[in-house]
Structure 1
Amino acid sequence: MSPQPLGPGMHGRGTRFRVHAPDADRLWLCLFDARDRETRLTMAREGEDIWSVNAPGVGEGARYGLRADGPFDPDAGLWFDPDKLLLDPYAPAIDRPFAYDPMLAAPRGKGSDTAGLMPKGVVSAPFPLVPPEPPIFRSGGLIYEVQVRGFTMLHPDIPEAQRGTIAALGHPAVIEHLRRLHVSAIELMPINAWIDERHLAPLGLRNAWGYNPVSYFALDPRLAPGGMAELRGAVDALHAAGIGVILDMVYNHDGESDREGPTLSLRGLDARSYFRHEPDGRLINDTGTGNSIDCNHPVAQRLILASLRHFVGLAGVDGFRFDLAPALGRLPTGFDSEAPLLRAMRDDPLLSDRILIAEPWDIGPGGYQLGRFGARWLEWNDRYRDDMRRFWRGDRGMTGALATRIAGSSDIFHADPATRTVNFLAAHDGFTLADVTAYDHRHNEANGEQNRDGHGENFSWNNGIEGATADQAIRAARRRDIKALLGTLFCSRGAIMLTAGDEFGRTQQGNNNAYAQDNAIGWVDWQGRDRDIEAHAFALADMRASTPDFSDAGWLSETDVEWLDERGQPMTVAQWEDPDRRCLAMRFRRSGFTVFINGGDWPHDFGGVHIPARTVLPIPAE
């Protein structure tokens, strides 16, 4: 028999609340009226681990929190403090966004009651389930990465009241842009309720990306003021246009951070089950955020699986991208693609056909796992990103690497019958595509960390003068390089990914870690977009969509393509090994479709086809 669900469950006479807190001595359900007056109901043990209470007359829209009492011994993973109002981990919605306050992190006995600082959970009526449909995504499709607020805040066609929200994604102007790019699925950066890191407020900054979650169920009210109905409406609009929806989920840590962090939810109920600890009781920090969720513990697995089902069943999303995904499969002996949580996701009836995308690295031991997640998974391929940048930067000896990457990275995915690569040139984390061609070094001064944060090595170049100040020739050179990079991406085998705005030259002024820039640095400038680059991207998208050679998932071998030199002859071993070679062509044997690549600084003729310097030119067979 399946365990009864946790969280609030409405019935004909009220709502029953069930909470997991095995080490607590006492637990209270705290109900709040319209004037924020609190009524406490004592919860009773239901077995060894679960507490429950029935609340007659409490129904849809009721606001509530939890309080837990018990031993306070952080070194032993016990954080009970009845002065801390806690969010129910299974609350389906919250009444307002989180805002960091030092009182949320005060040790027991040294702070005041936090009820006035905490969002309250909101009881929601049962939502009709979405009839299960196969995901809208095709092999070789384009994934479009979007930070909801920054993507829509400056869009001139979106009504001002809708800007910055999930509802804006269903606007006809947005959908038309996505269709012109032939987007197969839009990937939404985190939309779950999150809290700012504690160092941001004194700097006058706030978290703009959402990779610091508190709830795995509740949507952040800043992005979804209409709650689950708003997300479902946007998904329906995108599905009607043939575009899938992928959610970026952060299950590797939560926003309660390290020992000095706030007590908001999981920590105050059962830190021993939800977080990984060293033998001496210290929190393990394989994520760089202060804590790591224990994805091997059945209690944490139950929460994660229920969260995934929540978004599939209620909103009909097509799949998920997992931040720092090795955390989901790290056993005491190391990463294992057959770890219990990964196996449960694969075997779950509601999740088994969903798109699953791994960011296959974190900073823990054995944290780099590219190519090791197994056949059900797509994986972000940072080797593709780095090799493509290095080739177009002009690094020597990169022609063979370029060919391997655009053919599907068989060196990485050779154990599988098809490539599982997600090819990308830039993502939210790092330089934008335009900034790759305009800056030698990061410029993160606006983040208030003395330019020490973000990636140090970006494999970028500046074509003469760093930044936006440049003459016409330098701007033309940058535009040429952006087009060449886009050409390589759209002519690559496997799924490809664009970050919103990279198709028209979006800049972040050299900031390669704009997580705290909820402003013009991080927002997409629609009115200032480069129409020439955008037209080039649209043309490449049309080409890719009409060329079956790119839609197959199998990585390319010598039976599929031939690699040619400038004379139209097969590349020799000596040519492949020439560190100064910058030119080649890839011709599909069956169709004759040819991609000419000239990475040099001078034009070349390929058997009568003139290819300008630093250009990718795809040409169908006559």
Structure 2
Amino acid sequence: MKDDTKKPAFDRNVRRSTRLGADYDGEGTNFALWSHHATRVELCLYDETGTHETARLDLPDMEGGIWHGYLPDVGPGQAYGYRVHGPFAPEEGHRFNPNKLLLDPYAMEVVGDLVWDDALFGYPVGGSDLDMDERDSAPFMPKAVVVDPNFDWDEDRALRNPWVDTVIYEAHVRGLTMRHPDVPETARGTFEGLGHPSVIEHLKSLGVTTVELLPIHGFVKDRHLADQGLTNYWGYNSLSYFAPHRPYLASGHLREVKEAIRRFHKAGLEVILDVVYNHTAEGNEMGPTLSFRGIDNASYYLLSPEDPRHGFDVTGTGNTLNVSNPMVLRMVLDSLRYWVEALHVDGFRFDLASTLAREETGFEREGAFFAAIRQDPVLRGVKLIAEPWDIGEGGYQVGAFPWPFREWNDKFRDDLRAFWRRDEGMKSAVSERLLGSPVQFDHDHRPATSSINFLAAHDGFTLMDTVSYNEKHNEANGEGGRDGHDNNLSDNCGIEGETDDEQVIATRKRRLRSMLTSLFLSQGVPMLLAGDEFGQTQGGNNNAYNQDNEITWLDWERADAGQIRFTAALTQLRTELGLGHERFAGHDEGPAVRWWHPEGRPAADEDWNDEILIAELEDPERRIMVILNAGDRMDVSLPKGDWQLRLDTARGDPAAHETVRGRIDVDWQSALVLTRAPGERATG
């Protein structure tokens, strides 16, 4: 029930339309919301719990579609929401409904959880979306909270680690720490737990430089998942682009994120956020009215040109954010700058980034979104990574994004998985991946660090599952095994799933080490999925997006300590050998590259169907021989001279420091690294 006994009053002499959201200046708060088609906007104030409405006021001024007003003496901790008036005309794309309380798109903190109820929908559930639902949604909605921007960063600043030195670790805030024995139970699954010394120590020991976090923006648990007792674990269902997901905050407050990032930076670790600006949690026209749909559906979303009642969906989620609208693009850029300037994050990975480049003519690499970021004085200097695809026509765009973007390279994942499971004809493709995929990325002055190389990511099998399962096992997802892709390029090494068979275990371990070696020895930027450094399994689930449980939480108690040490040795070797070149090998100023046959002669055209790849890289510092043998044991003749064997994955202790000349025994499914000082061109 509303309580207007102490109704605050706007000071129209202080109001400002230049900053959107709730902007606290130390004396009061300016509220500003953009809606081009609205006719009236109500600001609803709530008590600190977000359950009791204390005042409802019309924002008094509007210019350029920005509705705004300044409230003196209103500050941090104030909970609020909006009710936006305008036409309810779904066939014209308008879905205004003032019965629905709406979350501020610029909310920096929220209080309360979304509770699924039919009142959250702008139309009567079970009926037509052309009819307006008049129930009040406020009791079921989270509320925005005014925050204090002040924080003692203690001279913290962005790290700007060079791309050539970067090793990325993709992790989930919750999954990383929920089963970590050294993290206090009250901190597990939160930013407090993420910043725990034991977590940071592990990352540092691995040689990781950059942690890429799955979405932390406030997101929604889909109703159909909630009805099944499941959840949106991954978080690719954003509702708030400025506020962190509240369950990730042990304290409930934004400063916890800042404190964790400050700890990471003190340890020399960068933090990259996986961001979802291509769609929102509101779904298609049959979805709920939580924020953007009720604020201005026709402006915030792409709508069908033929029938604006329906959205134009190229994301597979029901809606597509309309970043071609200047004010929607401004919101995205404001969000990105906010996370860099106010929270000191070091970069972003853009989910379904092809969607952000879509204009009337389709994918446009020189379009407004990329142009805006590339000229932005704040954003152009941070790490920018594209997931270079969406499900729309022409959406697969690996290699097509402009500098300074880097790109996830699924070709690396697929080709290396196929090579190590002994698929025929993969040698030529793997040679490309070893050199940074120049066919895709060596153009338009792009560096060799353009390719983000990975063997596994959150979406799909873990690396351990890649060598443990032939088929996906997604029964827990509640979709009858229909979800998740079937082309996993995996091989169970003889037995499906976990086993006590020592031979199978040994085979899997060797293949894992050889696959990891090929990842860290390739040009480009290596990305490791959290847990792959110690054998994490998801039981064959390759689409664990709705599993917030022991399927996805890292099992630290069962971690393979030997594999952790091996992974750390690989990152150290990569750094020592300087494999993070900016220039492509064999091109421009990059390392020279030569391909060898096991007989010790240069590889001929007819040799590219073998199961063994032998590459020699030479720069002014050293010569490096990389041998990747997906097949059976064989003898290899080395180019003349003394070579130092540095790594052999067939050994119990893969690290090696011994001199080899003439011939070397290369065991089955193994990877070797040898080095020598630079000199005259080697001959067989």
Q: Normalization by structure 2: what TM-score? A: 0.87
Q: CA deviation at 1:230?
A: 1.6
Write the distance in 2 (CA, Å) between the matches of 1:278 and 1:373. 26
Aligned CA-pair RMSD: 1.8
Aligned with residue 361 of structure 2, among 333, 338, 341: 333
CA displacement, residues 482-508 of structure 1 (integer Å, 9 cap, x when unaligned): 111101101111101001001111111
Aligned with residue 397 of structure 2, among 369, 379, 382: 369
SS in structure 1 of the partner of residue 255 of structure 2: helix
The aligned runs of 1:515-526 (5 Å cut-off) are 515-526=545-556
The aligned runs of 1:378-527 (5 Å cut-off) are 378-417=406-445, 418-419=447-448, 420-527=450-557
**Amino acid in the other structure paired with 1:52:** H
Aligned with residue 613 of structure 2, among 573, 578, 584: 584
The aligned runs of 1:568-579 (5 Å cut-off) are 568-576=600-608, 579=609
**Amino acid in the other structure paired with 1:552:** H
Match of 1:216 in 2: 241
Comparing 291-300 and 534-543, the one that deviates more = 534-543
**Amino acid in the other structure paired with 2:100:** K
Q: Which runs of 5+ in 1 are unaligned?
A: none
Write the distance in 1 (CA, Å) between the matches of 2:279 and 2:545. 17
Checking the alignment, whether the CA contact within 8 Å between 2:169 and 2:527 is kept in structure 1 is: yes
Q: CA deviation at 1:137?
A: 4.0
Match of 1:69 in 2: 85
Q: CA deviation at 1:242?
A: 1.5
Write the distance in 2 (CA, Å) between the matches of 1:212 and 1:218. 13
Q: CA deviation at 1:74?
A: 2.2
- Are 2:547 and 1:547 equivalent residues in the alignment? no
CA displacement, residues 302-330 of structure 1 (integer Å, 9 cap, x when unaligned): 10000001100111111100000011111
Checking the alignment, whether the CA contact within 8 Å between 2:353 and 2:387 is kept in structure 1 is: yes
Write the distance in 1 (CA, Å) between the matches of 2:322 and 2:132. 28
Match of 2:160 in 1: 135
Write the distance in 2 (CA, Å) between the matches of 1:97 and 1:485. 43
**Structure of greater relative contact order (alpha carbons < 8 Å, 6+ residues apart):** 1
**Amino acid in the other structure paired with 2:33:** V
Write the distance in 2 (CA, Å) between the matches of 1:137 and 1:66. 43
Checking the alignment, whether the CA contact within 8 Å between 1:129 and 1:313 is kept in structure 2 is: no
SS in structure 2 of the partner of residue 546 of structure 1: helix
Write the distance in 2 (CA, Å) between the matches of 1:594 and 1:237. 39
- Are 2:36 and 1:19 equivalent residues in the alignment? no
Comparing 583-592 and 516-525, the one that deviates more = 583-592
Write the distance in 2 (CA, Å) between the matches of 1:12 and 1:244. 31
Write the distance in 1 (CA, Å) between the matches of 2:523 and 2:132. 59
Write the distance in 2 (CA, Å) between the matches of 1:382 and 1:346. 24
Q: CA deviation at 1:606?
A: 4.0
**Amino acid in the other structure paired with 1:182:** G
SS in structure 1 of the partner of residue 218 of structure 2: coil
Write the distance in 1 (CA, Å) between the matches of 2:564 and 2:425. 31
CA displacement, residues 114-164 of structure 1 (integer Å, 9 cap, x when unaligned): 111111100012335967545234315211001110011001111111110
Cα 1:106–1:375 shift into 2, 3 Å: closer
The aligned runs of 1:91-170 (5 Å cut-off) are 91-107=107-123, 109-110=132-133, 112-128=135-151, 133=158, 135-170=160-195
Checking the alignment, whether the CA contact within 8 Å between 1:6 and 1:18 is kept in structure 2 is: yes
Comparing 407-416 and 595-604, the one that deviates more = 595-604
Checking the alignment, whether the CA contact within 8 Å between 2:79 and 2:111 is kept in structure 1 is: yes
Write the distance in 1 (CA, Å) between the matches of 2:370 and 2:218. 24
Q: Normalization by structure 1: what TM-score? A: 0.96
Match of 1:595 in 2: 626
Aligned with residue 196 of structure 2, among 154, 159, 171: 171
Cα 1:465–1:443 shift into 2, 3 Å: same
- Are 2:578 and 1:556 equivalent residues in the alignment? no
CA displacement, residues 193-243 of structure 1 (integer Å, 9 cap, x when unaligned): 100122101211011111000000011111124433222222221112221
SS in structure 2 of the partner of residue 317 of structure 1: coil
Match of 1:264 in 2: 290
Write the distance in 2 (CA, Å) between the matches of 1:144 and 1:338. 30
CA displacement, residues 529-566 of structure 1 (integer Å, 9 cap, x when unaligned): 12232222122122112111x02122211761211121
Match of 1:232 in 2: 258
Match of 1:613 in 2: 668
Checking the alignment, whether the CA contact within 8 Å between 2:386 and 2:406 is kept in structure 1 is: yes
Tell me how many residue pairs correspond in the alignment: 617
Write the distance in 2 (CA, Å) between the matches of 1:497 and 1:67. 44
Checking the alignment, whether the CA contact within 8 Å between 1:99 and 1:196 is kept in structure 2 is: no
**Amino acid in the other structure paired with 2:275:** M
Write the distance in 2 (CA, Å) between the matches of 1:490 and 1:330. 34
Aligned with residue 82 of structure 1, among 98, 123, 128: 98
Write the distance in 2 (CA, Å) between the matches of 1:409 and 1:617. 21
Match of 2:18 in 1: 4
Checking the alignment, whether the CA contact within 8 Å between 2:100 and 2:122 is kept in structure 1 is: no
Q: CA deviation at 1:65?
A: 0.4
**Amino acid in the other structure paired with 2:595:** W
Q: Which runs of 5+ in 2 are unaligned?
A: 1-15, 124-130, 639-662, 678-684
Match of 2:13 in 1: none
Write the distance in 2 (CA, Å) between the matches of 1:134 and 1:536. 27
**Which is higher, the Rg of structure 1 or of structure 2?**
2
Q: CA deviation at 1:408?
A: 0.7
CA displacement, residues 578-621 of structure 1 (integer Å, 9 cap, x when unaligned): x3x11122222231221111110334334422221001111232
Write the distance in 2 (CA, Å) between the matches of 1:72 and 1:62. 30
Checking the alignment, whether the CA contact within 8 Å between 2:108 and 2:147 is kept in structure 1 is: yes
**Amino acid in the other structure paired with 1:568:** G
Write the distance in 2 (CA, Å) between the matches of 1:439 and 1:621. 39
Checking the alignment, whether the CA contact within 8 Å between 1:93 and 1:219 is kept in structure 2 is: yes
**Amino acid in the other structure paired with 2:612:** C
Write the distance in 2 (CA, Å) between the matches of 1:191 and 1:560. 42
Match of 2:333 in 1: 305
Aligned with residue 289 of structure 1, among 311, 317, 342: 317
